[in-house]
Amino acid sequence: MRPVIVILLIFALAAGGVALFGKPGPKGRPFIVSAWIPYWKKLEGAQAIRNNLVYFNELSPFSFEVKKDGSLIDTLKVNDAPWPQLQQQAQARKISVIPTILWTDPKAMHNVLSDPLKRKHHIDQIINLLDNKKFSGIDIDYEGKDMADKDFFSRFIVDLAFALKSKAYSLSCTVEARTNDVPPSGWHGVRAMAWANDYSYLNAYCDTVRIMAYDQAIVTREAKTEWHGDLKSLYAPNADVKWVEDIIKYSLRSINKKKMVLGVPTYGWRYLADGKLKNWFFKCQDSVSYPQAMRLAQEHAVIPQRDETAELHFVYKEKGKTYVIWFSDGISIGQHIRLAQKYQLGGVAFFKIDGLQDDKMWDILREELGTDGV
């Protein structure tokens, strides 16, 4: 799903390669094929999943949220359709259902995670949820943490892991991507949110570590959503395969490959471009789905181009304004899957399955998995 708080709230294959889907992953562990299903498109997302359940062994309804005191908010409306039906169908196929908790309030996170009593209350809330709804485990997606709270978050992960283990629940930890041990000079606080995650603790206590390898144009620009540059040489991919590979190589220094799950985007971003010559101003407008991007390209008679990033992108004009779109399709999704295979990672997790993904991805999965799926 996604690293800048304001952006978060607005809203994560070519033939060939070695087919590892459905076969044992590192040291016999099954290769995880997972997906986040967003509550704002739950009916469409659930239907897309139902039509392709054979390819999954893990699902994450997205998401529960958190009050300032650490109590959970049922944003999913988990008792309403389609969740109970989807959970029943998934569990009948032995597919793990691991809902996500999304928290994007850095002050509230600090207040709860730094206080032992409040932290315990928060953990109790999570355990009660799992006990009542009989999920397989929980996915912790606490984004926008202040870097200064790294130790408090690690303490929370340790305490939560022990509480979950006592009841045989699994712990998935979803974190922002990074490629260095320390943030660039001048990055601090929430802007250095990716460094609020201590990989050594995640590796020791999380059953899986999902790396959000997307939103690159924002992540690599100090969590900024606007910048200046040259339109002709604009570089604003959502997940350049070279960048993703750098993330994998770096993360594997601290995280066991069996535990690492690569987050793969099914969407893209639209940017408003204003200026002339080499002095252009770019501002992130909104996320775009594959069909939305293709429709805009058709309406404005432009052909999306693919380059070494593996993504598609194009420029179009509307009502005197210039826009740039970078987005994922089945081929770029496949490139990321092949990276996960190349490095023998624990699996992949798609953000997001909402009925608006490029449906060619199902053909890719079908080719890789065969008719029996995972």
Radius of gyration, alpha carbons of the chain: 20
pTM of the complete model: 0.91
> What is the CATH number for 260?
3.20.20.80
Among 122-136, 267-281, 350-364, name the one with the lowest average pLDDT: 267-281
* pLDDT value of residue 15: 29
Q: Examine residue 196 and state whether it is found in any structural domain, yes or no.
A: yes
Q: Examine residue 361 and state whether it is found in any structural domain, yes or no.
A: yes
* pLDDT value of residue 7: 39
Q: Examine residue 273 and state whether it is found in any structural domain, yes or no.
A: no
Residue in the block written with tokens 């032995």: 94
Quote the CA–CA distance of 127 and 150 in Å, as a whole number: 23
Domain tally, the chain: 1
| Digit-coded pLDDT (tens) for 67-96 | 999 999 999 999 999 999 999 999 999 999
| Digit-coded pLDDT (tens) for 267-306 | 999 999 998 767 889 999 999 999 999 999 999 999 999 9
Range of the domain at 65: 5-224+235-266+328-369
| Digit-coded pLDDT (tens) for 243-257 | 999 999 999 999 999
350: which strand partners?
Answer: 35, 264
Q: Examine residue 292 and state whether it is found in any structural domain, yes or no.
A: no
Q: Examine residue 293 and state whether it is found in any structural domain, yes or no.
A: no
Whether 27 shows a pLDDT value over 50: the answer reads no
Residue 265 phi, psi dihedral angles, 5° rounding: -80, 145
DSSP 29: P
Confidence of residue 226 (pLDDT cuts 50, 70, 90): confident
CB contact at 8 A, 61 and 351: no
Residues above pLDDT 70, as percent of the chain: 90
Q: Examine residue 304 and state whether it is found in any structural domain, yes or no.
A: no
Quote the CA–CA distance of 350 and 104 in Å, as a whole number: 20
Q: Examine residue 322 and state whether it is found in any structural domain, yes or no.
A: no
- The order of strands in the sheet holding 267-276 is 226-229, 279-289, 267-276, 321-327, 312-318, 305-306
The DSSP annotation for 173-204 comes to EEEE--SSSSPPTT--GGGGGGGGS-HHHHHH
Q: Examine residue 28 and state whether it is found in any structural domain, yes or no.
A: yes
* pLDDT value of residue 103: 98
